[in-house]
Amino acid sequence: MGRLTTHVLDAAHGRPGSGIEIELFRVDGEQLTRVARASTNHDGRCDSPLLQGEDFRPGTYQLHFHVGAYYRQRGVELAEPAFLDVVALRFGIAAGEDHYHVPLLVSPYSYSTYRGS
């Protein structure tokens, strides 16, 4: 059965990004509909998949990682406005039976992602 998972690595400090708020939206044209919300645990992962079962279906989605709040809570001095506040990743799910894993490697000034396994 297909599912969507994610995790966050804090590349600036070399550790998992714990306590980061994540929102998942389904994209329909210009409209975003929030379908899930979670926070990362001590290992930088969500405790359960963001999508699974009958909610997991092909389409375009967007993840919002609230990294500005994460760095502020850890005492990192950020410019106002922060260079990165909410990292938005738009991606497609084409196969309803696959495992889609979308990790985020982040620092206050850069990020990268890939389709993991």
- pLDDT at residue 96, rounded to an integer: 73
The answer to whether residue 8 sits within a structural domain is yes
Q: How does DSSP assign 60-89, residue by residue?
A: EEEEEEEHHHHHHHTT----SS-S-SEEEE
The answer to whether residue 23 sits within a structural domain is yes
- pLDDT at residue 88, rounded to an integer: 98
Q: Checking phi first, is residue 59 left (phi over 0); if not, alpha (psi -120 to 50) or beta?
A: left
The answer to whether residue 70 sits within a structural domain is yes
Give the percent of the chain with pLDDT over 70: 100
pLDDT (average), residues 85-108? 95
Q: What is the mean pLDDT of the chain?
A: 96
The answer to whether residue 116 sits within a structural domain is no
Distance from C-alpha of 63 to C-alpha of 29, rounded to nearest angstrom: 16
Closest CA to 39 of 15, 20, 14: 20
The answer to whether residue 82 sits within a structural domain is yes
Q: What angle do CA 21, 16, 11 make, to 5 degrees?
A: 100
Taking 90 as the threshold, does the pLDDT of residue 82 lie above it?
yes
The answer to whether residue 55 sits within a structural domain is yes
Q: Is 70 annotated as a binding residue?
A: no
Q: Is 45 annotated as a binding residue?
A: yes
The answer to whether residue 42 sits within a structural domain is yes
Residue 26 neighbours by CB under 8 Å, 6+ apart: 32, 33, 35, 59, 60, 61
CATH number of the domain that residue 82 is part of: 2.60.40.180
Taking 90 as the threshold, does the pLDDT of residue 1 lie above it?
no
Where in the sequence is the domain holding 47, given as residue range(s)? Answer: 3-110
Distance from C-alpha of 98 to C-alpha of 56, rounded to nearest angstrom: 10
Q: What is the pLDDT of residues 34-76, one digit of tens each?
A: 999 999 999 999 999 999 998 999 999 999 999 999 999 999 9
The answer to whether residue 21 sits within a structural domain is yes
Task: State both tokens at 19.
Answer: 């306590």
Q: Is 15 annotated as a binding residue?
A: no
Distance from C-alpha of 5 to C-alpha of 98, rounded to nearest angstrom: 11
- pLDDT at residue 97, rounded to an integer: 84
- pLDDT at residue 83, rounded to an integer: 98
The domain tally of the chain equals 1
